Amino acid sequence: MKRIAFLFLLFLASQTVHSWKKDEFRACDQTPFCKRARFRKPGSCTLIAADVSISDGDLTAKLVPKAPQDHDQDPIKPLTLSISVYQDGILRLKIDEDPSLDPPKKRFQVPDVIVPEFESKKLWLQSASTEKLDGNNAGLSSVVYLSDGYEAVLRHDPFEVYVREKAGNRRVVSLNSHGLFDFEQLRVKKEDEDWEERFRGHTDTRPYGPQSISFDVSFYESDFVYGIPEHASSFALKPTRGPGVEESEPYRLFNLDVFEYVHDSPFGIYGSIPFMVSHGKSGKSSGFFWLNAAEMQIDVLAKGWDAEDGILMPIDQSRIDTFWMTEAGIVDTFFFIGPGPKDVVKQYMSVTGLPAMPQLFSTAYHQCRWNYRDEEDVENVDSKFDEHDIPYDVLWLDIEHTDGKRYFTWDKLLFPHPEEMQRKLAAKGRHMVTIVDPHIKRDDSFDLHKDASKRGYYVKDASGKDFDGWCWPGSSSYPDVLNPEIRSWWSEKFSYKNYIGSTPSLYIWNDMNEPSVFNGPEVTMPRDVLHLGGVEHRELHNAYGYYFHMATADGLVKRGDGKDRPFVLSRAFFAGSQRYGAVWTGDNSADWDHLRVSVPMILSLGLTGMSFSGADVGGFFGNPEPELLVRWYQLGAYYPFFRGHAHHDTKRREPWLFGERNTALMRDAIRIRYTLLPYFYTLFREANVTGVPVVRPLWMEFPSDEAAFSNDEAFMVGNSLLVQGIYETRAKHASVYLPGKESWYDLRTGTAYKGGKTHKLEVSEESIPAFQRAGTIVPRKDRFRRSSTQMMHDPFTLVMALNSSQEAEGELYLDDGKSFDFKQGAYIHRRFVFSNGHLTSLNVASSSPLGNSRFSSDCIIERIIILGYTPGAKTALVEPGNQKAEIELGPLRFGGQHGGGGAVTIRKPGVRVGEDWKIKIL
Ligand code: NOJ
């Protein structure tokens, strides 16, 4: 008997090595709508655009079948089509069932994602011109203005929508060029029909039957497509169908809690953003966004996939074809013309909103673990950071801190004095984050549950009862956050009065909000569960976590009387989540492959709006060997969101547990982040104003540099720094591609390397390769404190890396790091320009801020390091005041390390950071 038990344990242990439970999740061929769609042949769409006209400023039409229909079939009712045009080159195409033809139900259109300002950007179309391509009606198209130099075209037969450049008729993005469009209309069930779908013992009643939509989208002047997170896969999306592609699933967008996800797979994980960006040799980008929260599957088609379908496509433009399928909802799509990659990102963000400006503390280092056991453990970890001179800002408590997984409560034995615990951290300028998940324990003595059930605030199962699923607390129900009233109720729970034991230095972590349901189909909620207004969960699934994140962030805003910026980390996300906070890439593993894939994952998130994201440093599952852990800290220091985290079964791994040498290496890595906080904060502000992400692919800065297009080992932090991870053990060398024509300076040694080349560099355990681009100025703070808050009044260092014309430029943004006063103009925003041997500080704060709040700072600049300065410099003259400042050859310090070489350093120029000044080098 013992032997059998032993063998069973052995079996279980072997299962946990690679235990992604593929069978728990549906593949495309187990998903009827996906399977059906993938079988369809190009040219099978028979719809043509009829009754084309301009109405209410839109180009509208009906989509009707071309050929008379077979009498045995259900009639295909006309669909409504509308094309609207918005400022900055955005086309919106909507296709839905015609409400005047009495469909059995209104199809779900996702509310609350498009920002209200977007509607005011609508251009009212006055007229459409008609073009005849081949002299007969079949070649008829209606053409409308889109923006200067661009037009939107609706071809009538077969129906196709595309955007083109006026000059030369060059296409940008098109839909249904391959005639794969299909729209399953809602029908009334016939007696002999079985609409149920079964998967692993779960039955989906599908009361409205098949209602999927699919179509092809082509991107022109394109060699690669990117985006559509979240997948653990390469940044440039690999083809999933066509010549040379072995069997592959499409990229799946379906928010799921996938246990031990694998590092190279198109399967869906925690979040979904149906936004794709294309890029190509022309240096141009375009984009396509489908606002739809139902399960989506997307194929990227390999060149030549359409060789036999006989459809004529423009041959003089390189092109990537894609195929989009969804289970439900409507066609509500947006075409973005670019033409630059940053333009596309801005266009997308003008629809879904800009990323929130985070609090300064949240851009620093976070220490998490499942779980810090009790108050003593918290105190101990906190003091060890000080003992080892390692700065950190936030200590996190996972689910075990609660009373039996009842969120908003504390385990009274382990955490008897939560307020005092938070105050002690706050005294050092530190913060705490606690976890609050959406599953509410069904326990009649739990007030939150009593209140929610009494009010009828839970999601309902198909029979109309409160949906009851299994999660951490056991039997649980889930608030219906689609309902604004329920969101408002939820947000009240974060008040100090309701969340007993919380203080102003406490912020929130939303986990499991896909939502995760341990006993549900694919570990989530059944698709026929019901939300407000009879909306089926299948229609809304990918946005559930978005609404939960929104309600929590609103709760923190209310708690602080609208004066304190919220910090909420969420695992699930959807288009628009960038307005509510940060996300991370979930339960990764402590292995080199997961370290490597963290970069393309974070790049994809940034490209699609989620500029505040990171991966668990060290890997969530498993025990990283010290070398991997150190490499992860060295890379993680450049993630926008920088947090160490680990599963409860792993060994403790705080940075001081692996011997002095490793402690020193991790300390240096964390200090690099603290040194660069002023630069990161400036980039977060850039993202907040323009949508351009903090961490970017190389091609976003170097759009014509082909060698950068599929590089996902290296990334840019802002426009100035390039970072290359080390993804293998005992690496002695690294090949680093440095784009562009200008040089790059090693951040630690100041050594210059030529751009436009791959360099084979020696690497040591001390750091990963990181460079500053010639022509840029990076603001830093070089003094080490316990937390970012304590660095508030510290002086700045500017590092100028000069280009071949001996010029450089950079920016610095600062504000109080905490409140919303920056929205009323309470901030400092400077541009530093170096040319002709003069460094000038210019005010670039908006001259007409919305309010008249001001922010001032006593901070001075204590040091200016100049890289690549050729003439011998002796002294510097500071204006106003005509003061002299010394110039010396100083060591190139970085992150606490004394780098090699000597760099020209202006010592103590003493200028104030918020003022106009000029420094001349003599
Ligand atoms: C799953 C999350 O992804 C992980 O980070 C967390 O530690 C556990 N849930 C427990 O809350």
| Nearest Cα to Cα of residue 724 among 629, 808, 809, 631 | 631
Q: What is the DSSP string of 29-96?
A: GGSHHHHHHHHPPTT---EEEEEEEEETTEEEEEEEESSPPPTTSPP-PPEEEEEEEETTTEEEEEEE
User: Where does 702-821 have alpha helices with state H?
Assistant: none
Q: Is the pLDDT assigned to residue 484 strictly greater than 90? A: yes
Mutate to test the pocket of ligand 1, among 512, 573, 643, 648 (most ligand atoms within 8 A of CB): 512
- For 788-840, write each residue's pLDDT tens digit: 999 999 999 999 999 999 999 999 999 999 999 999 999 999 999 999 999 99
Percent of all residues in the chain with a pLDDT value above 90, rounded to a whole number: 89
Assign 70 a pLDDT band (cuts: 50, 70, 90). Answer: low
Q: Is the pLDDT assigned to residue 127 strictly greater than 60? A: yes
CB-facing half-sphere around the CA of 593: CA atoms within 13 A: 12
307, 354, 399 from 333: Cα distances, Å:
27, 19, 39
Average pLDDT over residues 228-238: 98
Q: How far is the CA of 511 from the centre of ligand 1 (A)?
A: 7
What was the pLDDT predicted at 14?
Answer: 41
Least confident of 147-161, 166-180, 603-617, 843-857: 843-857
Q: What is this structure's pTM?
A: 0.96
What was the pLDDT predicted at 902?
Answer: 72
For residue 717, the SS3 value is strand
What is the C-alpha to C-alpha distance for residues 332 and 213, in angstroms, rounded to an integer? 11
Q: How far is CA 373 from the centre of its chain?
A: 31
What was the pLDDT predicted at 650?
Answer: 98
Q: Is 771 in the pocket of ligand 1 (CB under 6 A)?
A: no
Q: What mean pLDDT value characterizes the chain?
A: 94
Q: Which atom of ligand 1 is nearest to the CA of 648?
A: 7
Least confident of 69-83, 110-124, 892-906: 892-906
Largest CA distance in the chain: 93
- For 556-594, write each residue's pLDDT tens digit: 999 999 999 999 999 999 999 999 999 999 999 999 999
Q: Which atom of ligand 1 is nearest to the CA of 435?
A: 11
- For 253-288, write each residue's pLDDT tens digit: 999 999 999 999 999 999 999 999 999 999 999 999
Query: What residue's CA is closest to ligand 1, atom 4?
Result: 587
User: Where does 706-755 have alpha helices with state H?
Assistant: none
What is the C-alpha to C-alpha distance for residues 699 and 607, in angstroms, rounded to an integer? 11
What was the pLDDT predicted at 657?
Answer: 98
Which pair of structure tokens corresponds to residue 539?
Answer: 């229609």
Assign 848 a pLDDT band (cuts: 50, 70, 90). Answer: low
Q: Is 511 in the pocket of ligand 1 (CB under 6 A)?
A: yes
- For 50-60, write each residue's pLDDT tens digit: 999 999 999 99
What is the C-alpha to C-alpha distance for residues 404 and 422, in angstroms, rounded to an integer? 21
Q: Is 206 in the pocket of ligand 1 (CB under 6 A)?
A: no
Q: Is the pLDDT assigned to residue 73 strictly greater than 80? A: no
Mutate to test the pocket of ligand 1, among 230, 367, 370, 514 (most ligand atoms within 8 A of CB): 370
Mutate to test the pocket of ligand 1, among 366, 372, 397, 398 (most ligand atoms within 8 A of CB): 398
| Nearest Cα to Cα of residue 766 among 835, 664, 862, 886 | 664
* More confident position, 871 or 166: 166
Question: Which residues share a beta bridge with 55?
Answer: 58
